[in-house]
Amino acid sequence: MKICATVFTIGWGAALAFGWIALAAPPEEASQMRSITILLAAAGAGAGLWAWLRIRRGC
């Protein structure tokens, strides 16, 4: 249960942090860098969602 809770916290934290970086990036930033931050935000959200579903089932 502790591992699922840790993955949940880190996953959603990463989603929020990298999502903010992607949204607040200046327009002249390279599109590759923005794509990387969007992918990292999506991976964090996926990990957080997966962990939440595992917690709901009892991990």
Overall average pLDDT of the 27-47 stretch: 94
Residue 2 to residue 53: CA distance in whole angstroms: 14
The torsion of the CA quartet 55, 50, 36, 41, rounded to 10 degrees, works out to -50
Into how many domains does the chain fold? 1
Cα 49 to Cα 28, 36, 41: the distances in Å are: 32, 20, 12
pTM above 0.95, yes or no: no
* Structural domain span for residue 32: 2-56
Q: Per-residue pLDDT averaged across 46-59, rounded? A: 93
Position 24 confidence tier, pLDDT thresholds 50, 70, 90: very high
Residue 58 has pLDDT above 80, yes or no: yes
Residue 14 scores a pLDDT above 90: yes
